[in-house]
Structure 1
Amino acid sequence: MIARISAVVGAFRPEEPELSASEIARRVGLPKASIARIVRDLADFDFLERTPGGYRVGIKCFELGQLAQKPKDLRRMALATMADLRQATGLTVQLGVLDGSDVVYIEILRGKHADLVIPSRVGGRVASYATAGGKALLAFSGDTVLERALAGGVRKIGPNTVATEDALRAELATVRDQGIAYEHEESSAGLACAASPLLRADSSPIAAISITAPVGTIDMRLVGPAVQAATLGLNRQLRASTFLGQL
């Protein structure tokens, strides 16, 4: 039942905040009768809200979201550094955390390329192995985290998504050595990225900061060190703060 509820709530998107029960059933892949019962119960407890056209996410989901303190603390800690990085590079800057096999973005600062289309949004997720930020996180995570991220195998998302698990593991070893991860049209056609992780004192990752630009507009290996320098500064703040170091 929890899986079904998660699927129902996950059917809503920022660009489609209102859905009919029939559309939810189609997206989730469950019988309409089952969806009708689930959305009715969720609406009764304010997790969904009834509308003339169907349903939308309810106030209870918003209230629970406000209790998710870790992303808020991370965002508060990193925002000034992200703004400086955007100012220095002119590129879109993203802050992401690892959740299962995906990177979830908790902040995005848009750069000078106003027409840049990226597959991420605040609160959205992308397969970790196909993103620079995800690879920065996986490289410094333990074997258990990596195995969980690869449990479903690797599938082609963008034109250059890593083809095999062995190739990914070799790339992650390089990321550990260099401290910077790169992406070239792996999560989406036309995008290039560089990322570096935020690390605790024991070198386990908390989050990753990445920069994104259209392919061909800049050599990411020239600006990658700027991302690494930004995260190194934040790492020092983390280790100096007892509270932030426990995130």
Structure 2
Amino acid sequence: MEDRDTVLGKALAILRAFGPADSVLPLAELVRRTELPKGTVHRVAGDLVHHRLLDKTAHGYRLSGGLFELGLRAATERTLLELAMPFLQDLYERTHETVHLGVREGHEVVYITKIGGHRQAKAPSRTGGRMPMHCTALGKVLLAYAGEDEQAAVLTGPLERRTPHTVIAPGILRRQLARTIETGVAYEREESTPGLLCVAAPVLKPDGRTVVAAISVTGPVGRFRPESHETAVRAAAAALGSTLARRGR
């Protein structure tokens, strides 16, 4: 959590007050969410507007394009996305279902990109968004290849039940993670969102044990059979891993 005694901490608290569904937030709502004094929020928000991190509108404040520009300069994620995009596009052309690229940050999956067509299933994922690892195929892959300490931290912590199908029993999740190592894929079956199925595979370093990212394909119940896309997802992840290894050399 931010140190709100510093100017930077106050600025981060204001920026992080915006949720995925928020376009504009009034000053009063920023005060409520940050629990900072009104005068402080007004002053710091004004500085953020000056530096193009927020925009001032007639109804309040919104995140500015300056944040987008800074995000695009994140070297690791940018390079990963640039190298991954041809493989993700090929995977979409093969499946015509929603394709994701994600990385682990803490106990969550961060979605680096999302590719979907006109018939893509309605999903909570979004580029730059986060989801818990235990209820997503991407997350299970990333967690399976994480260290024992990271696994223990997730499995012994609170596991949110997002749907009636969410697996919250640590023992079952451990078995699923072990199975992921054996097969090279992980599944989600309506565990993050009702009506969604997903299969994911790891992007590994040459040692075959260190995970860099994960790729998944997602589709709706009734139309999508994740098992039928195992080979395609594995191939895309392996090809990206090989490309990253060559780039590293």
Calculate the TM-score normalised by the size of structure 1.
0.87
| 1:184 matched residue in structure 2 | 189
Q: Alpha-carbon deviations, 1:71-90, whole Å to 9, x = none?
A: 11111111111111111111
| 1:103 matched residue in structure 2 | 109
Measure the CA separation in 2 of the matches of 1:124 and 1:71.
Answer: 14
SS of 2:100's partner is strand
Contact 2:17 2:34 in 1 (8 A): no
Aligned pair 1:157/2:146, yes or no?
no
- Aligned-residue offset at 1:143: 1.9
- Aligned-residue offset at 1:15: 4.8
Return closer, same or farther for 1:69/1:21 CA change in 2, 3 Å cut-off: same
| 1:220 matched residue in structure 2 | 226
Contact 2:137 2:199 in 1 (8 A): yes
- Aligned-residue offset at 1:52: 2.0
SS of 2:101's partner is strand
Partner AA of 1:140 in structure 2: Y
Partner AA of 1:87 in structure 2: E
Q: 1:48 aligns with which of 45, 54, 66?
A: 54
Partner AA of 2:103 in structure 1: V
Q: Alpha-carbon deviations, 1:16-71, whole Å to 9, x = none?
A: 32211222334x26256364454345445443232221112235423421321211
Measure the CA separation in 1 of the matches of 2:69 and 2:231.
Answer: 39
Number of residue pairs aligned between Structure 1 and Structure 2: 241
- Aligned-residue offset at 1:149: 3.8
Contact 1:102 1:128 in 2 (8 A): yes
Measure the CA separation in 2 of the matches of 1:47 and 1:58.
Answer: 5
Aligned pair 1:71/2:72, yes or no?
no
**For structure 2, which runs of at least 5 residues remain unmatched after alignment?**
none
- Aligned-residue offset at 1:147: 3.6
Q: Percent identity?
A: 36
Aligned-residue CA RMSD (Å): 2.3
Measure the CA separation in 2 of the matches of 1:112 and 1:43.
Answer: 36
SS of 1:177's partner is helix
SS of 1:24's partner is helix
| 1:126 matched residue in structure 2 | 131
Aligned pair 1:58/2:59, yes or no?
no
Calculate the TM-score normalised by the size of structure 2.
0.86
1:220-239 mapped onto 2 (5 Å cutoff): 220-239=226-245
Q: Which moved more, 1:120-129 or 1:162-171?
A: 162-171
Q: 1:113 aligns with which of 110, 119, 125?
A: 119
SS of 1:18's partner is coil
Return closer, same or farther for 1:7/1:154 CA change in 2, 3 Å cut-off: farther
Measure the CA separation in 2 of the matches of 1:138 and 1:96.
Answer: 12
Q: Alpha-carbon deviations, 1:147-196, whole Å to 9, x = none?
A: 44446420101231112222211210110111100000011010000000
Contact 2:206 2:242 in 1 (8 A): no
Q: 1:80 aligns with which of 51, 65, 86?
A: 86
| 2:175 matched residue in structure 1 | 170
- Aligned-residue offset at 1:122: 0.6
| 1:135 matched residue in structure 2 | 140
- Aligned-residue offset at 1:113: 2.3
Partner AA of 2:215 in structure 1: I
